[in-house]
Amino acid sequence: MRTVLLVEDGTEYLEAFERLAPAAEAEGARFVRAGSLSEARALLARGAPDAVFLDVVFDRVGEDALAGDLASLIARFGGDRRRAVRHLAENQGFYLLDALAPALPPGIPVVLAYDLDVEPQRLAALRSRVPGLVGLPDGASLSEALALLGC
């Protein structure tokens, strides 16, 4: 059975995978959910997953729970704290990817809930750190998402 680590600020992806995915694929996978970077790291410390799914927008958690160096972002944005927090929340999936990259087993599928099909060079740049990275196309179904996760 494949273990898939889901990192999201709600439970929408987890519920969809567990309750709506086709039985054949879903039964071959076990989903563990983390709501933040620290939770994801704790789960990774317990055991390496076979695949990772990362949500991108984290607008339901406090700024303390967001991955990324807020202080340096505030400095980068000319002292605009609100913009720095918004940037972190809206791009949280990328920051999680950056922070988790060293701890991920090499080559495992990592699905980012962001459509990178129209930005192949961006995907290539991100893959230099996480070779197994793929973007989730807009409108993709659960079956397609599970296929990207190798389930």
Nearer to other proteins, 27 or 63 (CB): 63
Q: How far is the CB of 21 from other proteins (least distance, A)?
A: 6
- Six token digits for residue 1: 């059975």
> Whole-angstrom Cα distance, residue 53 to residue 33?
9
Amino acid at 56: V
Q: How far is the CB of 61 from other proteins (least distance, A)?
A: 8
> Whole-angstrom Cα distance, residue 128 to residue 132?
10
**What are the residues binding other proteins (CB under 8 A)?**
6, 10-16, 18-22, 31-35, 39-40, 42-43, 56-57, 59-60, 62-63, 68, 76-80, 82-83, 85-86, 89-91, 94-95, 98, 113, 115, 117-123, 125-126, 136-143, 145
Can you spell out the DSSP letters for 95-130?
HHHHHHGGGSPTT--EEESS--TT-HHHHHHHHTT-
Q: How far is the CB of 129 from other proteins (least distance, A)?
A: 9
